[in-house]
A and B are shown apart, each in its own frame.
Chain A
Amino acid sequence: MTDVVNQANQGSSEELGLVGGGKRPEFKIVPVRTLPLVAVVIAGLIASIAGNWLWGLDFYHVVGGGLWTGIDLFVGFVVGPIIGRMSIPSRVEFSTRFMPKMLVIMPTVVTMTLGSGFQLARKLGYFNAGASQHGWLVASFIVVGVMTVIALGVLEPANLAVLFELKKEHPNGRVIEKLMRRFIFTAGITGAMQIATLIIMTRVATS
């Protein structure tokens, strides 16, 4: 990971390959065209919650949770290191295409998972302190709490700040590098929390 930081220490627009012929792809910070799809997904979630529809809640929780865990681990431990070894212009081009999509995908997937999971636990009686799964449920709350603070307090603001920087006429490589470090430094914590989630959820399902 140190090569990521060292390489990114070159800091100007020129070094980002954005001056003298280097071009960034045009992008929107929020890809508006995807929002109707998000609305459909969220509407289905609300309908499942309002109707206490067990299969719907289970579907949203399994699909959302699988995607959340899979994307987090894949991006943190496979895509992230690959990006770190790319040239800076390539990294900028990848980020301008990748990060706006993540800005829409991750909150949607997290909302699907947590909204349906909470309601599922309530419907199945896991909130009852006497339930055999109650301890695992509280453990999952703690894991989700840690991930919430990291995601909302550290990563989402950094994601948006990188996109705003890339929108500038002369993006500052040092700013982008400084912000991207947050993703590198939190990947370990997020990975550990996701593995804990897998253990907890498989225990809840089998105990």
Chain B
Amino acid sequence: MRGMSKEGSSVSASTTDITGSGSLPPVSEIGIAALTLVVVGGIYLSSYPRGASLVLPTVLAAFAALFVLIGAVLLLVSKSLARETFVKVGKWSLLVYLIVAGMLEYVFVFDGTRGGTLIVLSAMLFIFAVDVPMIIAFTVARFHNSSGGVTS
């Protein structure tokens, strides 16, 4: 899908499917849905840190985890994804978001959050720490084959 310019340099043809999105699963959309559920659950719990019912946040966290799992499975079975780029971006993003989630976990424990609330919050933080890197890595990887190689 490349043409040659007058100078002999290869340039990307602009008529091709630049994203490959036709053959890639909707991982970003699924990831954003999971992130939304986690954020809603987090808002609910943070609004009522003492005595909030855990039913709603637990259900939201369960659906969010399910969405992340579905996204991960779709990534595993996808043949057209630039896996090398996905792993390269994903591992560093995961490190960053694990640190962020760890800091948030520290704040919750430091503030005296305990029991079921802490378990649900921890689960949400873990989902958040896995979900955001998945969205980031997928977004970068889906455009990987759009043109030339990385220069450095």
Q: Could you tell me which A residues sit within 8 Å of B by CB distance?
A: 10-14, 19-20, 46, 49-50, 111, 115, 118-119, 122, 127, 129, 134, 137-138, 141-142, 145, 148-149, 152-154, 156-158, 160-161, 164-165, 167-175, 178-179
Contact = CB atoms under 8 A, between A and B. Distances in A.
Contacts of A142: 43
Most buried by B among A134, A167, A168: A168
Interface residues of B, number: 48
Given A164-B140, A172-B18, A175-B19, A157 B135 contact: yes
A115 B103 contact: yes
SS class of chain A's interface: helix, strand, loop or mixed? helix
A119 B107 contact: yes
Interface in B101-152: 103, 107, 110-111, 132, 135-136, 138-140, 142-144, 146-152
A157 B14 contact: no
B136 A160 contact: yes
A199 to B, nearest CB: 18
Contact of B148 (A122, A153, A168): A168
Contacts of A11: 12, 14, 18
A165 B143 contact: yes
B107 A115 contact: yes
22 contacts: A11-B12, A14-B5, A50-B110, A119-B107, A122-B111, A127-B47, A127-B49, A153-B132, A154-B32, A160-B136, A164-B140, A165-B147, A167-B151, A168-B148, A169-B149, A170-B148, A171-B147, A172-B14, A172-B18, A174-B146, A175-B147, A179-B143
Contact of A12 (B14, B40, B42): B14
B140 A152 contact: no
Most buried by A among B32, B42, B100, B143: B143
A175 B143 contact: yes
A111 B12 contact: no
Contact of A145 (B14, B32, B40, B110): B40
Nearest to B48: A129
Most buried by A among B10, B47, B135: B47
Contacts of A118: 46, 107
A148 B39 CA distance: 8
B47 A13 contact: no
B135 A152 contact: yes
A174 B140 contact: no
A119 B147 CA distance: 46
B37 to A, nearest CB: 10
B62 to A, nearest CB: 19
